[in-house]
Amino acid sequence: MALNLDAVGKTIGPVRKEYSWKDTVLYALGVGAGFSDLEYCYEKDLKVIPSFGITTMYDFMPQLLSTSNVNLAGILHGEQELIFHQPIPPDGEFITEGRITNFYDKGEKKGALVIGQSETFHSNGQKLFTSIGTVFSRLDGGFGGEDVPKEEIKFPNRDPDFVVEAEPLEDQPLIFRLSGDVFQLHVDKEFAKMAGFEKPIMHGLCTHGFACRALIEKLVPGEPEKVRRLVCRFTKPLYPGVRIKTLIWKTEEGRAFWRVVNSENEEVVIDNGIFEYGEIPKETIRFDDRVAIVTGAGAGLGRVYALELAKRGAKVVVNDLGGARDGAGKGSKGPADKVVDEIKALGGQAVANYDSVATAEGGESIVKTALDAFGTVDVVINNAGILRDKSFLKMEPDNWQAVIDVHLNGAYYVTRPAMAVMKEKGFGRILMTTSAAGLYGNFGQTNYTAAKMGLVGLMNTLKLEGQKYNIKVNTIAPVAASRLTEDILPPDFIDKLKPELVAPMALYLVSEQCPVSGNIYNAGLGCYNRAAMVTGCGAVVGDGKEIPTPEQVVVQWKSVADMKGAKEYQSVNEQIGDVLVAFSKPAERATETTAGFTSVSDVFDAMAAAFVADAAAGVDVVFQYNISEEGGGDWFCVVQDGSCQVEAGVHDKPTCTLKMNSADFLDLMNGKLPAMQAYTSGKLKIEGDIMKSQLIEKLFRM
Ligand code: NAI
C-alpha cells in the first residue's frame, strides 16, 4: 500500500471533543502536576496547561493516518508545534479541522514524513490553537518526493539558564493514557517487549507536558495563558520512573530554546524545542488577498458588507442591477459605481458589476468579473433581493416567479460558478441571506418566504458538498433599515436598525476564522442568535411490522408532537439512522420514570396525590381501569371541577376504560414499558373515548 499523495489539502474533520474541568485536571495529573502547581488541579480558579490542547490529536490523528494511507506498522510522532491564539478554557468543546499539508520523502528504507495541520476552535467560537504535527513513517520512503528541509536549532554555546528537574512516576503512563492515548505500548508489558522495549515506555507527549510545565514555571510563572508557541522534536524513548531535566536557554525576551534529557544517561529525549511567550495579541479578522463577491451591494446591507470587507483588505466585486424595489425597470449602473467609488476613496480595491443575479448568464458574468479583475473568488455573499408582497390568493405567477428568481435562483446562478473556483483552490466561504419572515412566516409574503427557506435547503446540502474542500456555507437572517424594509419596520426603529449592526456577523461567517458550516444566524441591532431546524424524539407508532392506524397516531400524539430533547441533525443520514434505532430498540426510548411501584393498589393509592389540578380546568372525565391477574382489580378515577377522586370498583359511565394485566401495568407505571409500545403490542387495550385517555399523562405526574 502506497501513501495517498492525493490526500494533500483534503479537509479532515471537523472532529468534536467535549471536555470538562475534570479532563483538564486529569491531564495535569498525567503530566506530573500536583499540590506544587495546584492551579492546574483544583477546579476553583482552574488554569489549563496549554499543552492539554494536544489531546485533540487523539481523535484527529486516526483520521489523518487513514487519509494518508501510511503503513501503521512503522509510525512515530516526529515533531509537534502548537501555536496558541487564545488561552484554553477549563471546559467546553474542541472543534478541530485540518488537512495534510505535505508528504516528504527521506528515501527508500529511510522513511517518509506526513505533515498535518489543524485548527482547533472552542465551542464559544474562539480559535484556540493551531497544531502542526509530523508523523515519521519508517516504511513509506522512496516514493520519489522531495526531502524535508532541515531546520535545526542552534542552541547557545553556554550552560542553560534554567534547569528544571522532575521525576515522572513509575505509574505515570497509566494516568496519562486516560487523556486519550491508550496505545498498548505504554501499558502492556508483553506488547512493549514485542516492540523491543524492556517494559512499557512513557508517552512522548507526557514528557512534552512535563516540559511545558517547566517552561511556564521559569518563564511565565503562574501565567499559562501567556504561552504562545511550543515546538519540539521527539528523539528517544524514556522509561517511566526515570528522572528528567528540562534545559532552558532564554535567547531573547519572549523566546527560549529547550530540550529534555534523561538524567541517568544524559540522552536527549526531546530536542529542538522552541518556546515563545508573552501577551497573545488580539486576533483581527482580515480579508487580505481574498476576493469577495457581494450581490445587491449597491445599497442597504450589501453596500455595508462590501465596504466593511474592503476596509479589512478584501478585493470586492460590487454587483448591483440598480433596479426598482420590486425588480422592475431596466436598472442602472449608478448604485454599484457609487459603492465602488466609496471603497476606492477609502483606499480599497473594488470593481463594479451590473448583471442581474436572476439569470444563469448573469451569475456566470458576475464570477467572471471577479476572475478578470482579481484572478479568483474566495467569498460570495448572496444578498440581492426584491419584494413583491401580496396575499397568497392574489399572488399571480409573475410576482411569484420574479421573487424566486432573484433570491433563490440568483443564489444558485452565482454560487455554482463561484464554487467551482473554490473547490479548485480548497477554500471558500458562502453566505446565503434568508429572513425571519421565511424562518417563522409573514403574512403576504408567500413568494419571498418560500424563496428564503429554499436558500436554507440550498445551504443544507452545499455545506455537505463543500466540506472536504474547506468551503463553508452559512445563512444570515438580517434585520436592518433599507429600501426593502422602510414600510415594514416600525418607524421609531428605523434609525436604530443600521445595516452596520448586521455586518459584523456577516463578516465573521465569511472569514477564514469562521468555525461553522450549515448554520443560520439572526442578526440585527447588534443582537445575534442562532436559529435551527430541530427534531423531536417522537414515538414509534405500531410495532414496525403492521401499518399503524390513524387512531394509534391519536393515542401517541403527545409523544409524536413532544419537542423535549429535540435534536439537530447534520444530514438526512443521521436522521434516518435515528429512525432505524427507534425501530430496533423501542424500549430504550421509554420515559424514564422509575416510580418503583411494587403493587397495583400502590399505584391507585398514589394517584390522587399525583393529580395536577392546574391541568384539569374544564375537564370532566372518568377513567376506568380493569387490571387483570394477580394483584389486579377494578379502579376508577373521576376528574371533575378541578378535583380528582380515585375509588376501587366499576363506574357506570366511564369515559374510557383501560385494560391491562397487572405485570404489564406495573411495568408501564415504573417506566419500563412505553405507553405506545404497550398499546401497539396489545398489552394495553383502550375502550371508549381514546382521545380523552391521552389526558391521563397530562393530569397525573406519576
Ligand atoms: P435593498 O433593497 O436595500 O438592497 C437590495 C439590493 O439588491 C438593491 O440595491 C437592488 O438593486 C439589488 N438587486 C435587486 N435585484 C437584483 C438582481 N436581480 N441582481 C442584482 N442586484 C439586485 O435591501 P436590503 O434590505 O439591503 O436587503 C438585502 C438582503 O437582505 C435581501 O436579500 C433581503 O431579502 C434580505 N433581508 C433584509 C432584511 C432587512 O431587514 N433589511 C430582513 C430580512 C432579509
Side-by-side strand order, sheet with 428-433? 349-353, 315-319, 291-294, 379-381, 428-433, 471-479, 520-524, 527-531
320 lines ligand 1 (CB under 6 A): yes
| Residue 515 CA, ligand 1 centroid: distance in Å | 26
Instruction: Decide: 119 and 98 in contact? Cβ < 8 Å.
Output: yes
Q: Is 353 in the pocket of ligand 1 (CB under 6 A)?
A: no
Cα separation, 233 vs 79, whole angstroms: 4
User: Do residues 232 and 208 lie in contact, with contact meaning Cβ atoms separated by under 8 Å?
Assistant: yes
Measured in residues, the chain has a length of: 702
Element (H, E) at 275: strand 268-277
Segment 7-36 shows an average pLDDT of: 93
Tell me phi and psi for residue 451, to 5 degrees. -65, -40
For residue 251, give the C-alpha cell: 535567547
**Mean pLDDT, range 381-401, rounded to an integer:** 97
Catalytic residue (choose from 40, 305, 448, 521): 448
Looking at every residue in the chain, the average pLDDT score rounds to 91
Which CATH number is associated with domain 5-142+152-277? 3.10.129.10
pLDDT in tens, 285-329: 999 989 999 999 999 999 999 999 999 999 999 999 999 999 988
Write down the pLDDT at residue 680: 59
- pLDDT score, position 582: 67
- Cα of 340 vs centre of ligand 1, distance in Å, is 17
Q: How confident is the model over 260-267, as a mean pLDDT?
A: 97
CA angle, residues 567, 569, 570, in degrees to nearest 5: 150
Rounded to the nearest whole angstrom, what is the distance from the C-alpha of residue 402 to the centroid of ligand 1? 13
How is residue 156 annotated by DSSP?
-
Going by pLDDT thresholds of 50, 70 and 90, the confidence category of residue 609 is confident
Q: What dihedral do alpha carbons 453, 454, 455, 457 form, nearest 10°?
A: 100
Per-domain residue ranges for the chain? 5-142+152-277, 291-531, 586-699
Residue with CA at minimum distance from ligand 1 atom 17: 356
The model's pLDDT over 417-432, given as tens digits with 9 standing for 90+, comes to 999 999 998 899 999 9
Nine-digit cell string for 151: 531546520
DSSP string over 376-387: ---EEE------
Distance CA 294, CA 203 (A): 50
Ligand 1, atom 1: nearest CA belongs to which residue? 300
Identify the pLDDT of residue 7: 87
Question: 563 φ, ψ to 5°?
Answer: -105, 10
C-alpha cell of 52?
Answer: 492539554
Distance of alpha carbon 54 from alpha carbon 42, whole angstroms? 21
| CA angle, 290 then 292 then 293, to 5° | 160
Cα-to-centroid distance, 463 and ligand 1 (Å): 23
φ, ψ at 617 (rounded to 5°): -60, 125
DSSP, residue by residue, 280-318: PPPP----TT-EEEETTTTSHHHHHHHHHHHHTT-EEEE
Give me the DSSP letters along 62-89.
HHHHHHHT--GGGEEEEEEEEEESSPPP
Q: Is 448 a catalytic residue?
A: yes
| Strand runs labelled E in 558-701 | 621-628, 633-640, 643-648, 656-661, 685-688
Residue nearest to atom 3 of ligand 1 (CA): 300
298 lines ligand 1 (CB under 6 A): yes
- The reported pTM is 0.61
CA atoms of 126 and 132, how far apart (whole Å) = 19
Decide whether any atom of ligand 1 lies within 6 Å of the 300 Cβ: yes
Same fold, 291-531 and 586-699: no
Question: Please, which pLDDT band fits residue 595 given cuts at 50, 70 and 90?
Answer: low
Cα gap 58→178, rounded to integer Å: 11
Pocket mutation for ligand 1, best pick of 453, 476, 484, 500 (most atoms within 8 Å of C-beta): 484
C-alpha R_g of the chain: 32
Q: What's the average model confidence in pLDDT over 231-258?
A: 96
Q: How large is the average pLDDT for residues 74-95?
A: 92
**In CATH terms, is domain 291-531 a member of 3.40.50.1820?**
no
Cβ atoms within 10 Å of 357's Cβ, excluding its own = 28
Which residue from 295, 353, 383 has its CB within 8 A of the most atoms of ligand 1, so it is best to mutate? 383
* Residues 6 or more apart whose Cβ sits within 8 Å of residue 29: 41, 175
Q: Which residue has the higher pLDDT, 57 or 48?
A: 48
Query: What is the per-residue pLDDT for 67?
Result: 86
Query: What is the rounded (10 degree) CA torsion for 75, 80, 84, 85?
Result: -60
Mean pLDDT across 456-461: 98
* Helix, strand, or coil (residue 546): coil
Is 321 close to ligand 1, i.e. is its CB under 6 Å away?
Answer: yes
CA of residue 300 to ligand 1 center, whole Å: 7
- Measured in angstroms, how far is the CA atom of residue 383 from the centroid of ligand 1? 6
How many CB atoms neighbour CB 646 within 10 A?
Answer: 21
Q: Which atom of ligand 1 is nearest to the CA of 406?
A: 18
Task: Look up residue 335 and give its amino acid.
Answer: P
Q: How far apart are CA 129 and CA 89, in angstroms?
A: 12
Angle (CA) 333-336-340 rounded to 5° is 125
Does residue 557 surpass a pLDDT of 70?
yes
Other Cβ atoms less than 10 A from the Cβ of 440: the count is: 11
* pLDDT tens per residue across span 464-518: 999 889 899 999 999 999 998 887 777 777 888 999 999 999 999 999 989 899 9
- Looking from the CA of residue 448, the nearest atom of ligand 1 is 34
Q: Which pLDDT belongs to residue 689? A: 79
Cell of 30: 498525567
**Burial letters 509-518, b for 16+ CB under 10 A, else e:** bbbbbbbbbb
Bond preceding residue 14 cis, omega within 30 of 0: yes
Distance CA(621)–CA(627), nearest Å, equals 19
Q: Report the CATH number of the 586-699 domain.
A: 3.30.1050.10
* C-beta separation of 617 from 630 below 8 A: no
Contact 165, 236 (CB under 8 A): no
